[in-house]
Amino acid sequence: MATRSTWVRVLETIYRMLTYLPRLLYSLVLLFFRSVNQRVRANLPLWRMEIETSEHVRLAVKAFKWIIVPASLFHIATNLLFLGENALIFVFCAQLVFLYSSFVPDLPSIFRKKKNKTAESLPWHKKYALLLFAPLLIWALFSGMRLDWKTTEDFHNFKSLAVYAAFLLICGFFLFAGFPPTIGGIARTLSLPLYGATGYLTHLKVDRIW
Instruction: Give 2-28 pLDDT, tens digit per residue.
Output: 456 666 776 677 677 777 778 888 888
Instruction: Give 110-146 pLDDT, tens digit per residue.
Output: 888 776 655 557 888 889 999 999 999 888 888 877 7
Confidence of residue 90 (pLDDT cuts 50, 70, 90): very high
The pTM for the full model equals 0.88
- For the chain, state the CA radius of gyration: 19
pLDDT on residue 6: 66
**Is a pLDDT exceeding 60 seen at residue 150?**
yes
pLDDT on residue 4: 61
Average pLDDT over residues 82-95: 90
pLDDT on residue 119: 54
CA dihedral (113, 115, 120, 124) in degrees, to 10, reads 80
Average pLDDT over residues 143-172: 90
**Is a pLDDT exceeding 80 seen at residue 44?**
no
Average pLDDT over residues 39-63: 85
Q: What is the mean pLDDT of the chain?
A: 86
Instruction: Give 179-198 pLDDT, tens digit per residue.
Output: 788 888 899 999 999 999 99
pLDDT on residue 120: 58
pLDDT on residue 3: 59
Share of the chain above pLDDT 70, in %: 90
Confidence of residue 101 (pLDDT cuts 50, 70, 90): very high
Average pLDDT over residues 82-92: 89
